[in-house]
Chain A
Amino acid sequence: MPSEHLIIQAYDGIVLAKITKERVLEAPVINALAEDLAKLVDRYPKISLVLDLADVGYLSSSFIGKLMALFKAVTAVKGRMAVGGVRPSLMPLFQVTRLDKIITFAPDAEQVIQLYKRKPL
């Protein structure tokens, strides 16, 4: 089932994926999001993926696991991935699990897009 909570925009070789659901807790929602995000890796060779989490206020450890799986898939095809717009209240979740050590986090997605534009793959 395609996720109804994901907006995709692709331009200049950069793919922006914005999750539009505030509570990313239900397994069907998380699985649908993960499937759709994984498809982007297949569709765009050497993807520059920017994941916008500005609308997300609640998430589960399962979603963090899916994020790690996505990061591994992106790096496996020599792509790159960053996360933008994580609310300050949620940032400790990524720090405790040390995802912030391997995935780039930026205050907003636009910053990552500009960075990726300046440094194309």
Chain B
Amino acid sequence: MPRIIINKDKCKGCLLCVSACPQGLIMIEGGFNLRGVKPVKFKPGGKCSGCALCALMCPDCCIEVYK
């Protein structure tokens, strides 16, 4: 199953990946990261297709995609 890994401490919480994911598999995490913003997290158990649109849209290169 394809999956993504989000570098949560680099994330600035712009949420461009959230709107880019066609499956809606990225959501805002509850806590804060080292930068003091609410980072995003990968929804566990979702059907990721590995399209990498989230990584393409991320301005801060926080997302790695595995397939």
Do A and B assemble together?
no
**Residues of B that sit less than 8 Å from A by CB:** none
